[in-house]
Structure 1
Amino acid sequence: MTKLIIGGLFCIVFVMHIVFSKIDYKKGCYYTKPLLMPLLGIYYILSVAEVNKLIVIALVFGFMGDVFLMWPQGKNNFMIGLGAFLLGHLCYVLLFLQGISFVKDVPVWFYFIIIIYASIGITVMKKLTVYLGDMKVPTYIYMATILLMSFSSLARILVMDMSIAFTLPFIGSLLFLCSDAMLGFYTFKGKFKNGEIYIMLTYVLAQAFIVGGYLY
């Protein structure tokens, strides 16, 4: 019963946040945004017999990133928020690589996927570089990390079936790529219509999908 209540609260707060973003009610967003990752974390802890600490730590870093990026104009806030999300992605890299041993017979198509990931990263960074200024190196490191996170999620297919346990985290990793790419353009190139909504929608769903995959 408690798990259902927490899950319901998470959904309600998520919807409220999206609505507040749509009507540009900043105060409401400041109340709802910091609640999302803690509620998701509590729901995960209540839903599993054995808690994976990497998921909990990743959500804690997500919470920290959410809080600091609410005031990105503050001194060092953006860098701290970016660093928190980067550490969260590294936690997910370690999570996805758990149980994966380097197999000898890697299918050919897997190498083509590496090229696709590299192409995505290069394309995004080419479009962003001109706007980054002195943030080039941190952004390059962050982009490489999130690409590694998504690729690590895909690598699980080498040792498991196309089940919900694989599919949800992989979709979540792709949503993370979309969310962070949009955040990069929104922050450095300039705001675009409904940008905050699209960024938060893909970000929260990314976290929820990754966590959801580890409930099975």
Structure 2
Amino acid sequence: MASSIPRSRTLAFGPFVIVAIVHLVTLGLLLLPVAYWAKVSVMPALLLALLVAVPRRRSEIALWAALALVFASVGDALLRDPGEAGFLIGLGAFVLTHVAYLVLFLRPLRRRRPPLGALGYAVWLIALLVLLVPHTGALTVAVVFYGALVCAVATAALGTTPIIAVGAFLFLVSDSLLALRLFVPGFEFWQQDVIIMTFYIGGQGLIVLGAVREAWRRERALPN
């Protein structure tokens, strides 16, 4: 396909896949020190894959995707328990991650307007906030803003490519489940951390894969 990535460049995603598997397996086995160090290595590995696989590093697609992954790396290292300073800094880093993705989806990767079905994300946001706000206390404004931003990013992704749209949706699911686990008393489910991280890593990976595929499609469309 015209949008496919050259096989030699796809190998760049290998370290990302390996580190992601190590993180998820060790997290499931409660080998927490290993799981933590694998976790903070996942996004840098995906950043490396992006920079190696993309046809032009000095491009708007590479710039905004790379910024999103840099901020996500900071967020992964710091986002832990609500109320701690590190949590707020980590939340701020993920705000910047989503802002970078929003610009990426609305500018270089935009193909069309989001369909009418994107209104479903507004319903998602309202339902999520109904569940969260009674428990968020002093963080209510931050949580409402963050939720609205994540849903806006997922909406904007519907105007790009199917792979990116699915990735943004998985990222939204991950953030929603994480918020419910952090704030709603008694919200627990089997292997919750593994499931949340699977959605998160899968979402980020699909976004970057979709961005690289779109960059190659446009590269091949340029006149020789």
Query: CA separation in 2, counterparts of 1:101 and 1:215?
Result: 14
Give the alignment's Cα RMSD to 1 decimal. Answer: 2.3
Query: Do the aligned partners of 1:61 and 1:85 also contact (CA within 8 Å) in 2?
Result: yes
Match of 1:38 among 44, 56, 59: 44
Match of 1:84 among 75, 93, 96: 93
Query: Do the aligned partners of 2:16 and 2:45 also contact (CA within 8 Å) in 1?
Result: yes
Does residue 201 of structure 2 align to residue 193 of structure 1?
no
- CA separation of 1:50/1:182 partners in 2, compared to 1, >3 Å: closer, same or farther? same
Structure 2 gaps, min length 5: 1-6, 214-224
Query: CA separation in 2, counterparts of 1:72 and 1:62?
Result: 17
Return the offset for 1:128.
Answer: 1.3
Secondary structure at the aligned position of 1:176 is classed as: helix
Q: How many residues of Structure 1 are paired with residues of Structure 2 in the alignment? A: 201
- CA separation of 1:114/1:4 partners in 2, compared to 1, >3 Å: closer, same or farther? closer
Residues 54-107 of structure 1: CA deviation (Å, up to 9, x unaligned): 0000000000000002x436731111111111110010010011147898xx7x
Q: Between the two proteins, what is the percent identity of the paired residues?
A: 29
Structure 1 gaps, min length 5: 157-165
- CA separation of 1:206/1:100 partners in 2, compared to 1, >3 Å: closer, same or farther? closer
TM alignment of 1:112-191, pairs within 5 A:
112-156=116-160, 166-189=161-184, 190-191=187-188
Return the offset for 1:7.
Answer: 2.5
Tell me which amino acid in the other structure corresponds to 1:193. Answer: W
4+ runs deviating over 3 angstroms: 1-6, 99-103
Query: CA separation in 1, counterparts of 2:111 and 2:31?
Result: 49
Secondary structure at the aligned position of 2:56 is classed as: coil
Secondary structure at the aligned position of 1:72 is classed as: coil
Return the offset for 1:5.
Answer: 5.9
Query: Do the aligned partners of 2:170 and 2:203 also contact (CA within 8 Å) in 1?
Result: yes
- CA separation of 1:43/1:114 partners in 2, compared to 1, >3 Å: closer, same or farther? closer
Return the offset for 1:140.
Answer: 0.3
Return the offset for 1:31.
Answer: 1.4
Query: Do the aligned partners of 1:186 and 1:192 also contact (CA within 8 Å) in 2?
Result: no
Q: TM-score, normalised by structure 1?
A: 0.85
Structure-2 residue corresponding to 1:61: 71
Query: Do the aligned partners of 2:72 and 2:97 also contact (CA within 8 Å) in 1?
Result: yes
The structure showing larger relative contact order (alpha-carbon pairs under 8 Å, at least 6 residues apart) is: 2
